């Protein structure tokens, strides 16, 4: 299963609504997760099962989609949200591949 993400990068301002898309090469139901990675840090799980918020993650993050098309939305971008975001398919047990990433930086 191959994952693509769009855009590969974007520039946004504080307070903006940001949407990142992940597309799977075949249907994966809702078996998708989203991660945030800041420079020099390990990735952090944000969303699992396409739309479930991981404990401790701010509610401005949300996920949607099923089948082959998924989105991660940040409702109001905050300074600490500038990072790279990865989707990951959870369908091909137990090896879960990642998308190529989307870098969000400051406009």
Binding residues for another protein, rule: CB under 8 A, are 31, 33, 35, 37, 42-45, 48-49, 52, 54, 86, 88, 90, 93-101
Query: Measured from the CB atom, is 21 or 37 closer to another protein?
Result: 37
Smallest distance, another protein to C-beta of residue 69, A: 19
CB-side neighbour CA atoms (13 Å) of 46: 26
The angle subtended at Cα 40 by Cα 76 and Cα 17, nearest 5°, is 10
φ/ψ (deg, to 5) at 9: -155, 155
Query: Measured from the CB atom, is 1 or 16 closer to another protein?
Result: 1
Smallest distance, another protein to C-beta of residue 86, A: 6
**33 pairs with which residues across the strands?**
88
């Amino acid at each position: 299963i191959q994952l693509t993400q769009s855009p590969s990068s974007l520039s946004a301002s504080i307070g903006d609504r940001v949407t990142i898309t992940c597309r799977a090469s075949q249907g994966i139901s809702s078996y998708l997760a989203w991660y945030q990675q800041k420079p020099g840090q390990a990735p952090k799980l944000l969303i699992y099962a396409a739309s479930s918020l991981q404990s401790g993650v701010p509610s401005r993050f949300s996920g949607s989609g099923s089948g082959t098309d998924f989105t991660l939305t940040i409702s109001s971008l905050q300074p600490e949200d500038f990072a790279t975001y990865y989707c990951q398919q959870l369908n091909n047990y137990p090896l879960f591949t990642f998308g190529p990433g989307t870098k969000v930086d400051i406009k």
